[in-house]
Amino acid sequence: MTERSPFSQSNKDATPSPAMPQDEDALRQEILNLKREAIDLKAELRDRTQELHTAQSEIADLNQRFAAQTAALRESNDTLVAEVVERSQAETSLRTARDQLQAILDAVPGIVSWISDDLRYLGVNNHLAQTFNMPIDAFIGQDIGFLHTSNEFNLFVQDFFQSNQLDAYREVYAQVAGEQRRFLIVAQKYNQGKAAFTVGIDITERDQAETALREAESKYRNIFEHAVEGIFQTTPEGHYLSANPALAHIYGYESAATMMGELTNIQQQLYVEPGRRQEFVQALQRDGAVTGFESQIYQRNGAIIWISENARAVYDARDNLLYYEGTVEDITQRKEVEAALQRANEELELRVERRTAALTESNQRLLSEIRGRHRVEEALRASEAELRALFAAMTDVITVFDGDGRYLSMVATNSQLLYSPGKERIGQTVYEILPPYQASLFMRHIQQALNTRKPVRLEYSLPIGDWQQLGDASGQAAPDDFDNTAWYNAIISPMPNNRVIWVARDITEKRRSDIALQKAEEKYRSIFENSAEGIFQASPDARYLSVNPALSRMYGYHSPAEMIARITNIDRLYVNEERRRIMLQRLHKQGAVFGFESQVYRADGQIIWVSENVRAVRDDHDNIVYYEGTVADITQRLQAQEALRESQRTLATLLGNLAGMAYRRHCDANWSLEFVSDGCYDLTGYAPSDLLGETAVPFEQLIHP
């Protein structure tokens, strides 16, 4: 079909949420249209009933005429035969109309019932009877609560008859085949309020799917919003699409919204060297991803800091570049430490160069060791740069077709026809009305329903307006094109005389909502799954709730599932279990812990050093629900730092044992000293502290004239 129904928006949960006003409005609209459909069905039922009464009156009249004119009938036998034929045709028409009405009710994708004001069933449709695996006749005359499936439904109907309302709706729970299901029930009174017509739609799967998508989106958004590292998405032109609070904090802004509003040109406003942005983009275009891309940037107050970026380029299904996404880490302190270490290395090298020839061989060994440690440090920086990854109901349209796809009849029930609304459909085939792609699709499913004699379900799209005005003349649409396309869900059921009944519902808004939720869930799942840094959520009883692949690899497990299954007590991961208790004490006191370093066991028993950033997530009553955070492997960095400290201690020992005095002075007018070894006391009688600083003994007094 080609009709659009406003009764397509996703139904809400039982408890309305202020955060979803659009869904609540859509639900109200869906209920209103469902009531209209019930009214229309009731009106059609009255019309059919009136026709039946008329026919019955005609039959009674014929009987009277038959009794009064027995003699005359012998003379007008031919006339009597004609009248009998006419009566038979009328009865056949009534049976056909009744069968069509029953087929329509049976094709409705919901449970339909007629209930008297004494709360007993007057009739039900096939769908309701099949739902409870009972014949239709078993319901007639029974109290509505005889199945004991839903007290909520019983109370709703009872309250409805006691009220002055002509129509009402409510969401109720019911037990069906041992399973609790959720239904949207719409009721409409008739016969002067002595009976009511109810329609119920099963909304269980839709509610469950929407709840699961919302929970997944909330989970990954929570990680995004509370990550310690900065996370961003930018356009190729240098505009921010999204950023988390941590990135705004690193760049010196109060919020991510303020930062995105002020930073409109990343290349010119952010980087100290604007060319670094172009190098960053070129690396992404060449390699698809970058890790450990270090640059100096301006904070909001003008201060200059160092950052390290990990990013990747994100493309669509047609390989078109959409945006860049990644993480940012403030490495200013690390750079300062590296600079201090570099200065220390240079000082040590200068000292070694001034040693006597007897220390030359030892000096060469030390220099070789320093270079080796430097390579370890470089490897450590590369490893640290890889720790962060890229973060990534019933306003249906009912149509009867014959086996050739010809429109025989249509009931629009106030639905809006979005595709070619001005075209007359009755008597036309689907090939004359629909675009080629949809026409072929319709015919395949019409033939399938006729051949199998079973209902067939179909989800399809139709262009809005006239398809011949669109670029794709076939009528086939992209899955997420909601501006030019409407989406429908149809049930095609076989009927007698090589016909089918096609019941279509507009699901455009529901599909739009589902795709939006799916994209949001995929966005935050991408960040979690592709991060190079370990990310976890743990319960208060020391069990992992979730871990990403990076953390499982760091701890030596093949997959996150294996790690969660094998680690039943996180405390036992720590070489010193007291470290975890200390971390939790700080966490409970401060709310979050950053850079907490510990030794832990890998799956193979190997011991590594890790640094953890952890926060406690609490519910509305301030109870801890779980812990979440990130983990970095700092083993190589600590090894490199310890090696450098050992080199410094070794050289200091060599200088202390050196015969004579070693010194370094400035080339200024006073020949002031910058460094002097302990051997100066034996040669000059002065301690090193006497020769250094502003009150030092002048250097020229130490030199014999």
Give residue-wise pLDDT tens across range 467-515. 554 445 555 666 667 677 888 889 999 999 999 998 888 888 888 888 8
**Are 248 and 169 in a shared domain?**
no
Residue 40 belongs to a domain: yes
Instruction: Please tell me the predicted confidence (pLDDT) of residue 562.
Output: 94
Residue 211 belongs to a domain: no
Q: Which of 213-222, 253-262, 335-344, 416-425 has the lowest mean pLDDT?
A: 416-425
The pTM of this model reads: 0.39
Q: Return the bridge partners of 665, or none.
A: 673
Element holding 100 (H helix, E strand)? helix 77-107
Give residue-wise pLDDT tens across range 576-590. 999 999 999 999 988
Of 330, 350, 377, the last residue of a domain is: 330
Residue 524 belongs to a domain: no
Element holding 179 (H helix, E strand)? strand 179-190
Residue 3 belongs to a domain: no
**Are 202 and 280 in a shared domain?**
no
Q: Is the pLDDT of residue 147 over 50?
A: yes
Q: Which of 86-90, 198-202, 294-298, 378-382 has the lowest mean pLDDT?
A: 378-382
Structural domain of 372? 332-390+533-656
Tell the burial category of 333 from Cβ atoms under 10 Å away from its Cβ (0-12, 13-18, 19+): exposed
Of 312, 330, 348, the last residue of a domain is: 330
**Are 637 and 693 in a shared domain?**
no
Residue 152 belongs to a domain: yes
**Are 238 and 158 in a shared domain?**
no
168: nearest Cα among 305, 348, 34: 34
Task: Give the separation between CA 179 and CA 149, rounded to whole angstroms.
Answer: 10
Q: Is the pLDDT of residue 13 over 50?
A: no
* 8 A C-beta contact, residue 126 and residue 113: no
**Are 49 and 169 in a shared domain?**
yes
Task: Give the separation between CA 363 and CA 375, rounded to whole angstroms.
Answer: 18
Task: Give the separation between CA 117 and CA 615, rounded to whole angstroms.
Answer: 59
Residue 4 belongs to a domain: no
Q: Is the pLDDT of residue 86 over 80?
A: no
7: nearest Cα among 504, 480, 438, 421: 504
Per cent of the chain over pLDDT 70 is 81
How much is the mean pLDDT over the chain?
82
- Section 333-342 average pLDDT: 87
Instruction: Please tell me the predicted confidence (pLDDT) of residue 468.
Output: 55
Element holding 23 (H helix, E strand)? helix 21-68
Task: Give the separation between CA 661 and CA 34, rounded to whole angstroms.
Answer: 100
Residue 2 belongs to a domain: no
Task: Give the separation between CA 233 and CA 311, rounded to whole angstroms.
Answer: 9
How many folded domains does the chain comprise?
5
Task: Give the separation between CA 39 and CA 35, rounded to whole angstroms.
Answer: 6
- Section 131-146 average pLDDT: 91
- Section 434-457 average pLDDT: 91
Give residue-wise pLDDT tens across range 158-176. 999 999 999 998 999 999 8
**Are 652 and 663 in a shared domain?**
no
Place of tokens 């675009």: 435
Task: Give the separation between CA 521 and CA 515, rounded to whole angstroms.
Answer: 10
Q: Is the pLDDT of residue 334 over 70?
A: yes
Instruction: Please tell me the predicted confidence (pLDDT) of residue 127.
Output: 85
The beta strands (E) that lie in 179-303 are given as 179-190, 195-202, 230-234, 240-243, 289-298
**Are 175 and 66 in a shared domain?**
yes
**Are 485 and 620 in a shared domain?**
no
185: nearest Cα among 159, 156, 145: 156
**Are 265 and 362 in a shared domain?**
no
* 8 A C-beta contact, residue 225 and residue 249: no
Task: Give the separation between CA 597 and CA 633, rounded to whole angstroms.
Answer: 10
**Are 22 and 138 in a shared domain?**
yes
Task: Give the separation between CA 459 and CA 474, rounded to whole angstroms.
Answer: 17
Per cent of the chain over pLDDT 90 is 35
Task: Provide the pLDDT confidence category of residue 1 given band limits of 50, 70 and 90.
Answer: very low
Tokens coding 255: 């919020």
Give residue-wise pLDDT tens across range 384-427. 555 333 323 455 778 899 999 999 987 765 455 556 555 778 88
Residue 113 belongs to a domain: yes
**Are 377 and 352 in a shared domain?**
yes
CATH number at residue 86: 3.30.450.20
**Are 176 and 73 in a shared domain?**
yes
Instruction: Please tell me the predicted confidence (pLDDT) of residue 9.
Output: 41
